Amino acid sequence: MEANIDVSEEPPAGGVKTRIFALVTLLTVVSGVGYVGREGYRAATDSFIAPIILSPDNDLIVQSKIKLNELYVERAKAAAELEGIESNLAACEKAIGRLKQLQTRTENALVWTKKVNAGQAFAGTADLHTLAEQKSLLATALAQQDAFSRAARADLDAGLISRTDYAKEVQSVGQVQLGLLENERMRLQAEMQMKQVMLAQQSLASGGGAAPMPEMINREDQMVRVELELLKLEAEQRTQTAERTLLRDKLAKIDEISAQLKGRPIFRAVEKSMDVAFVPYTQIEGMHAGEVVYDCVWGLFHCKAVGSIAEIVPGEVILPDPWGTQTRGQYAVLDLSRHESAKSKSLRVRLEKGPQGTSATMPVAAK
């Protein structure tokens, strides 16, 4: 009877080790492929940015500060010019008002002249009438006194009166004759004044047809001077008003430019250091504040979260991209927990979306 013999054989120890090694190798390869694939996918989907450290001592910041100071000086000059123009306009307005008042008074000056001339005409007519009556009375008195004088001569020759009485009668005749001469002189003066009054009335009534009176010439001369001065002041006022409008526009533009410049990182860094980054347009799509920033070895491996995007600054700039090519893009202000990461050649921004399509930012190490 044959004995039962166990024919099962244990696998050699070397075969088990080989299988374990192969399995480990396979897992390593799979993990490596997965890691490389994952990192390659993230490298393809992440945005690359070029970090920049801006400090007040930076040459570019110093130049920007100089430009900003020049802008402040220009604004101060424009403000001073505007203040001067405002003062000139106020003075012009006041002078124009005074000249218009003077112009109105000058135009009304002839009314006073007409009234005075009418009064002189009335008085002159009355004087001539009175002088005519006075002459008539003096002529009558002279005739009577002449008759008295002849009678006194006859009485003197007859010895009825003395020579003294006769001399008195002769003297009375002379006094009446003197009164007539004075009356004639006054009549001539009154007639001359009346002629002047009549000429003035004709000049005032004709409106320039007759010979102008001196007062009218003086009035016209004054009105021309006032009108010319008004024209000069009004022209200066229009010029000053236009300059004021230009200066106001200039100040508004300077303020607008100042506000825009102060919002840019280069000008913000005038007061304190800032971590910023240049984001090319090819990398900026979908990027917004809050996205997580990563610092990777060689820009590809072992990525660590070092901060986040604090702000995307409006306005285009042209700077070297992370690969050293001059291109167009925008500034982004960084909020870094590791400031030494700003010295890297490039950083990566991971545009991750949450369930509702919002950015699901990763936690960043506390500063």
Q: Do 170 and 114 belong together in one domain?
A: yes
Q: What is the pTM of this model?
A: 0.48
pLDDT reading at 150 higher than 90? no
Q: Is 23 inside a domain boundary?
A: no
pLDDT reading at 362 higher than 70? no
Higher pLDDT, 10 or 235: 235
Q: Is 65 inside a domain boundary?
A: yes
Higher pLDDT, 4 or 310: 310
Say what the pLDDT of residue 261 is.
75
DSSP letter for each residue of 224-280: HHHHHHHHHHHHHHHHHHHHHHHHHHHHHHHHHHHHHHHHSHHHHTTTS-EEEEEEE
Q: Do 168 and 285 belong together in one domain?
A: no
Per DSSP bridges, beta strands 347-350 and 47-54 are antiparallel
- What is the average pLDDT score of the chain? 79
Domain finish residue from 240, 268, 296: 268
Picking from 37-51, 151-165, 181-195, 235-249, which range would have the lowest pLDDT averaged per residue?
37-51
Q: Do 308 and 335 belong together in one domain?
A: yes
Q: Do 281 and 251 belong together in one domain?
A: no
Q: How many percent of the chain have pLDDT more than 90?
A: 12
Domain finish residue from 218, 248, 268: 268
Residue numbers of the domain that contains 248: 59-268
Say what the pLDDT of residue 366 is.
34
Say what the pLDDT of residue 213 is.
64
Q: Is 100 inside a domain boundary?
A: yes
Strand partners, 320: 326
Res. 113 pLDDT band, cuts 50 70 90:
confident
Q: With H, G, I as helix, E, B as strand and everything else as coil, classify residue 152.
A: helix
| 347 contacts: CB under 8 Å, gap ≥ 6 | 48, 49, 50, 51, 277, 293, 294, 295, 306, 334, 341
Q: Do 76 and 215 belong together in one domain?
A: yes
Q: How many domains does the chain have?
A: 2
The helix-helix angle for 109-158 and 59-107 (nearest 10°) equals 30
Res. 206 pLDDT band, cuts 50 70 90:
low
pLDDT reading at 280 higher than 90? yes
Res. 187 pLDDT band, cuts 50 70 90:
confident
As a whole number, mean pLDDT of residues 35-59 equals: 75
As a whole number, mean pLDDT of residues 96-108 equals: 81
pLDDT reading at 77 higher than 60? yes
Q: Is 294 inside a domain boundary?
A: yes
Backbone φ and ψ for 366, nearest 5 degrees, come out as: -65, 145
Domain finish residue from 252, 268, 284: 268
* pLDDT tens for each residue of 121-132: 888 888 888 888
Q: Is 90 inside a domain boundary?
A: yes
Q: Is 36 inside a domain boundary?
A: no
Q: Do 286 and 176 belong together in one domain?
A: no
Picking from 208-217, 286-295, 301-310, which range would have the lowest pLDDT averaged per residue?
208-217
Q: Do 250 and 345 belong together in one domain?
A: no
Say what the pLDDT of residue 209 is.
57
Q: How far is CA 214 from the centre of its chain?
A: 48
Q: Is 286 left (phi over 0), alpha (psi -120 to 50) or beta?
A: left
Q: Do 315 and 350 belong together in one domain?
A: yes
